[in-house]
């Protein structure tokens, strides 16, 4: 990377990576003794300005400050360098990994239920029994010669056991066929197609004299593509942005600090971007790839908790290639349903933000009126909720649980997510009603969700289901002069 490239990486102190007011700027301005009139200390963008540069870089590092129990990882996104892999640091690779590579359904035969402790309480014994029953229910559905999507969605809505999550996600998203006889051939074809796309993407216009045979796919992506002469092509610009964002992805989780993880994500995002020129790469898509990558990687190791002590660089290359390809195709399926969130002007996000405002007015009129009095614009806090699907507000484990339900919905990511955001917002109504303009924005950009558990997510999803049930099929409830969203079939299948 040329030194003059660094000049492009200057961040606006008053803005975050989406061009919206940063927490840093608001904290700094709020601490000034001679504070100006309420709401005048920060300049907020209009709706059109928020999409003028959707690929803005991450914000400047903020000074150490006492923090709430927020899970806003944007505060932790300092520039990182690739760490060295630690020898011997890794979970145990499943001996049967080659069988799982061929057909993920082979992992179903390897599920072993832990023995319940002899001193378990009646409540713990009941939870243990329920968990085993749920796993067996999923196994029965998934081991059928033709998987019933209706049954699988109904079971998945309330959460998917981690032992069967990877194959369930892949079937629900259409990456794997429901017909078991077609599964092996389909998987082989899709993985080969992705790997061919990687080779083509990184061999044309890349540095000369690179030996693929000795470095594999990792070597192909070890340096950015370049164009001849002094001119810079689109490929280099895309790679430049991705190579900045990936090291800042989930910096609090050791798994994402390894070079093998980061190089894999870079390849996924780069290939997706050049295959989707209408949108290209947009800040936030890097976050959306990580739940897939983490869930699929866990299939091949004996300990499904791979957030720490798991250096993917020590796994066999075919495993990384498979995880990478499966992640690419599932990410593509997800983004296909919400791609208007990322094309020029991001109309999908504008529609959802407007719909969130309308829905909040009907759910909590008091809160909506308070926002109006304080001149709070929904775009100022919910743009990120729509762009990153709440991944900056919740831990990745909680996001994974939430995605179980989203995938069980026919339009989970494009429609049900709106109701989740509404439930998420009104959850904080009591606190927000006591805050002024600047306090509201600061609170909503650093929500106290760090200690949230799966139970909190399930409560949020249940509340969202209530709201979508009340407004299902009634377009008039969610329509304004400037926005309208189609109401599809929402809620758990029966």
pLDDT for 28 equals 56
Helical residues (DSSP H) of 22-68, grouped into ranges: 23-30
CA distance 220 to 210: 7
pLDDT for 201 equals 86
Residue 356 · residue 422 · CB < 8 Å? yes
Residue 179 backbone dihedrals phi, psi, to 5 degrees: -80, 120
Say what the pTM is.
0.79
DSSP state of 78: -
pLDDT for 310 equals 84
In sequence order, which residues have a C-beta less than 8 Å from that of residue 447 and are 6 or more positions away? 70, 71, 72, 393, 428
Mean pLDDT, each 10-residue run in order, the chain (494 residues): 42 55 54 44 37 34 40 40 46 92 95 84 90 95 97 98 97 97 97 95 53 44 40 66 94 95 96 92 95 96 87 95 98 95 93 96 97 97 96 96 96 96 97 97 96 97 96 56 37 40
Q: What are the Cα distances from residue 47, in Å, to 59, 313, 341, 346, 385?
A: 20, 43, 14, 10, 15
Give the number of other Cβ atoms within 10 Å of residue 125's Cβ: 12
pLDDT for 116 equals 84
Beta bridge partners of 301: 93
Concatenate the DSSP letters of all residues of 151-188 into one string: HHHHHHTT---GGGHHHHHHHHTTSS-SBHHHHHHHHH
Domains of the chain plus CATH, in order, are 3-66+342-478 (1.10.472.80), 83-113+122-336 (no CATH)
CA distance 56 to 483: 26
pLDDT for 66 equals 40
């Amino acid at each position: 990377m040329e030194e003059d490239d660094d000049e492009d990486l200057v961040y606006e102190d008053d803005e975050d990576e989406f061009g919206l007011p940063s927490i840093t700027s608001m904290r700094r301005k709020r601490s000034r003794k001679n504070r100006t009139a309420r709401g005048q200390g920060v300049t907020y963008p209009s709706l059109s300005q928020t999409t003028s540069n959707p690929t803005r870089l991450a914000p400047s590092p903020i000074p150490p400050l006492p923090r709430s129990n927020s899970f806003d990882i944007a505060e932790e996104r300092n520039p990182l360098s690739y760490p060295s892999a630690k020898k011997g640091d890794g979970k145990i690779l499943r001996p049967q990994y080659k069988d799982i590579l061929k057909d993920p359904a082979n992992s179903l035969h390897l599920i072993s239920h832990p023995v319940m402790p002899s001193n378990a309480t009646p409540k713990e014994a009941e939870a243990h029994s329920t968990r085993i029953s749920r796993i067996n229910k999923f196994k029965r559905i998934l081991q059928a010669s033709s998987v019933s999507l209706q049954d699988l969605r109904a079971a998945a809505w309330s959460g998917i056991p981690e032992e069967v999550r990877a194959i369930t996600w892949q079937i629900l998203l259409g990456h794997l066929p429901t017909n078991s006889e077609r599964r092996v051939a389909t998987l082989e074809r899709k993985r080969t197609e992705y790997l061919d796309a990687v080779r083509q993407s990184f061999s044309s216009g890349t540095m000369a004299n690179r030996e693929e045979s000795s470095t594999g796919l990792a070597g192909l992506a070890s340096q950015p593509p370049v164009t001849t002469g002094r001119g810079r092509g689109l490929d280099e610009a895309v790679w430049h942005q991705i190579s900045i964002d990936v090291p800042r992805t989930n910096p609090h989780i050791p798994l994402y600090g390894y070079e093998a993880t980061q190089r894999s994500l870079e390849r996924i995002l780069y290939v997706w971007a050049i295959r989707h020129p209408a949108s290209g790469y947009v800040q936030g898509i890097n976050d959306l790839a990580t739940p897939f990558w983490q869930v699929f990687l866990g299939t091949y190791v004996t300990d499904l908790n791979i957030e720490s002590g798991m250096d993917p660089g020590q796994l066999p290359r075919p495993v990384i290639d498979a995880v990478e390809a499966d992640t690419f195709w599932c990410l593509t399926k997800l983004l296909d349903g919400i791609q208007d969130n990322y094309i020029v002007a991001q109309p999908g996000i504008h529609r959802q933000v407007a719909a969130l405002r309308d829905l909040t007015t009907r759910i909590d009129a008091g809160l909506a009126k308070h926002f109006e009095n304080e001149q709070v614009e929904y775009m100022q806090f919910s743009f990120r909720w729509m762009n990153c699907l709440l991944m900056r507000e919740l831990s990745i484990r909680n996001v994974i649980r939430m995605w179980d339900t989203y995938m069980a919905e026919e339009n989970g990511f494009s429609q049900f997510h709106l109701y989740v955001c509404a439930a998420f917002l009104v959850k904080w109504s009591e606190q927000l009603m006591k805050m002024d303009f600047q306090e509201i924005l600061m609170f909503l950009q650093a929500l106290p969700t760090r200690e949230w558990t799966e139970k909190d997510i399930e409560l949020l999803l249940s509340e969202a289901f209530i709201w979508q049930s009340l407004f299902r099929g009634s377009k008039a409830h969610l329509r304004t002069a400037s926005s309208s969203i189609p109401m599809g079939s929402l809620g758990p299948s029966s």
